[in-house]
Amino acid sequence: MNTALLLLEIQNDYFPNGRTPLEKSVEASTKAQIVLQAFREKKQPIIHAQHISTQPDASYFLPCTKGAEFYVSVQPLKNEMVIKKHYPNSFKDTPLLNYLIKNQINHLVICGMTTHLTVDATVRAAYDLGFSCTVLHDTCATRQLEFNHTIINAQNVHYAFLAALQPTYAAVLSSEDFLQKTGARIPIAAMA
């Protein structure tokens, strides 16, 4: 199985002082950074998905703003693929599918922002396109939602969307479990 790491929208606007901060985004990015380092050490493919808003009424991820830039802990290196996207589904109108096919990648390890939106949409699209996915739940973050005048706290949103993805659409693991399974040389103390 040829595996790539897909980092979804780990961008400044989702962090404290950003335009639309998510709950536990800093903690999630710290775990994602450890996974990113493990992929770099093994020289495995890494893809960074960057959302750039194109809607005229958009309030975040605006072009050429600090908020649209990648968060400091997961900055792409020059040899890592960066795809720009405009929709929650990272395959829609992007070169992602062609890149995966060209590089014979059939398994995606997914970390990133908005469990309820971008992570969900991308995982389901990947599954429909024939890819297997592993979502590292503690490397993802979301926010509270409201439905029918009821507030759903961020943790419940996070858990509900992850529960809906497994086992059909993705394996859902902690970053620690994933790194142990792959034999990465990252000290487990770093995962605390």
With respect to residue 49, please indicate whether it lies within any of the assigned structural domains: yes
pLDDT at 28 over 60: yes
Q: pLDDT tens-digit profile of 47-89?
A: 999 999 998 888 999 999 999 999 999 999 999 999 999 999 9
What's the pLDDT at 55?
Answer: 85
| DSSP of 92-127 | TTSSHHHHHHHTT--EEEEEEE-IIIIIHHHHHHHH
Q: How many separate domains does the chain show?
A: 1
Task: Identify whether 96 is part of a domain.
Answer: yes
Q: Is the pLDDT at 192 greater than 80, yes or no? A: no
The range of the structural domain enclosing residue 63 comes to 3-183
Tell me the β-bridge partners of 111: 7
Q: What is the pLDDT of residue 96?
A: 98
Question: Is residue 13 in a domain?
Answer: yes
- The share of the chain scoring above pLDDT 70, in percent, equals 96
Q: Residue 20 is part of a domain; what is its CATH number?
A: 3.40.50.850
Task: Let me know if residue 109 belongs to a domain.
Answer: yes
Does residue 190 lie in a domain region?
no
Full-model pTM: 0.94
Identify the CA nearest to 53 among candidates 96, 19, 87.
87
- Residue 101: predicted pLDDT: 98
pLDDT, tens digit, 9 for 90 and up, residues 38-49: 999 999 999 999
112 falls within a domain: yes
Q: What is the mean pLDDT of the chain?
A: 94
